[in-house]
Amino acid sequence: MRGEADERGSGEADERGSGGAGGGPGARCAGVSAYAGLVRCRIVVLDYGFGNVRSAQRALQRAGADVDVTADPDAALNADGLAVPGVGAFAACMAGLRAVRGEVVIGKRLAGSRPVLGICVGMQVLFAEGVEHGQRTEGCGQWPGIVRRLDAPVLPHMGWNTVSAPAGTRLLAGIAGDARFYFVHSYAATSLPLPGGSQMAQPLITWATHGERFIAAVENGPLSATQFHPEKSGDAGAALLANWLESVR
């Protein structure tokens, strides 16, 4: 397992989130706000034992969603959107996901074009494989590529950093180019290699640099993910979550 206590225990007391945009009418979301009569998205934060689920819940609520935290696969499958936060080691997170059939739920949702958002290690496990201390662990396999230890003079990469978003991004739309997001990690994917002849749509990749360039976010149809913690990234993170909820609607 990774040795950084901050990766396993970036606690609720560290939360830096702030309010985002409120919810609005939408065709895909079923819940109705008792306050304003507005349709609100029903989001499930998947509770599989390896994520700051309450931080994610509060941030998504502030962004305008009705949010449940649960490990129930039926609830996770049927929600308008599914958020999968994660902290700790790749192998441990995959074991936790499998224990609640989370990888099956993610696959079924994506097969039906239903939105999923991975956060931190919840993004990493979407890749094909993770390598930690010589141990290889199979991931969910939604993207090709390997998550490995960053080649950087100081690890973990802990604190605020800028990102470089691609043209056409929806996840970071309207967010200033010099905005900073909060990272806590030592491992990351540094490429997303699509095989020749692949029918998979080219994902939109946001990059960041700490020692070397790594993938900070991916947008790929109904599947989105961030290596940083939007729930701890202040106004920029709140805007990103509001953007994601718009894609859910």
**Residue ranges per domain, the chain?**
5-248
* Residue 132 in this model has a pLDDT that exceeds 80: yes
d(CA 228, CA 221): 20
Q: Is the dihedral of CA 159, 223, 9, 90 positive or negative?
A: negative
Q: Is 136 exposed, middle or buried (0-12, 13-18, 19+ CB in 10 A)?
A: exposed
Please say if 157 is a catalytic residue.
no
The predicted structure's pLDDT at residue 200: 60
pTM value is 0.86
User: Minimum mean pLDDT among 15-19, 52-56, 71-75: which range?
Assistant: 15-19
- In CATH, the architecture of 5-248 is 3-Layer(aba) Sandwich (3.40)
Would you place residue 20 in the very low, low, confident or very high pLDDT band (cuts 50, 70, 90)?
very low
Choosing from 157, 185, 210, 229, the catalytic residue is 229
pLDDT digits (tens, 9 = 90+) for 144-198: 999 999 999 999 999 999 999 999 999 999 999 999 999 999 999 999 987 665 5
Please say if 29 is a catalytic residue.
no
Choosing from 29, 120, 185, 210, the catalytic residue is 120
Please say if 231 is a catalytic residue.
yes
pLDDT digits (tens, 9 = 90+) for 110-128: 999 999 999 999 999 999 9
Give, for 39, the enclosing helix (H) or strand (E). Answer: strand 39-40
Q: What is the CA radius of gyration of the chain?
A: 17
For 196, the token pair is: 């020749």
Would you place residue 10 in the very low, low, confident or very high pLDDT band (cuts 50, 70, 90)?
very low
Choosing from 103, 132, 231, 246, the catalytic residue is 231
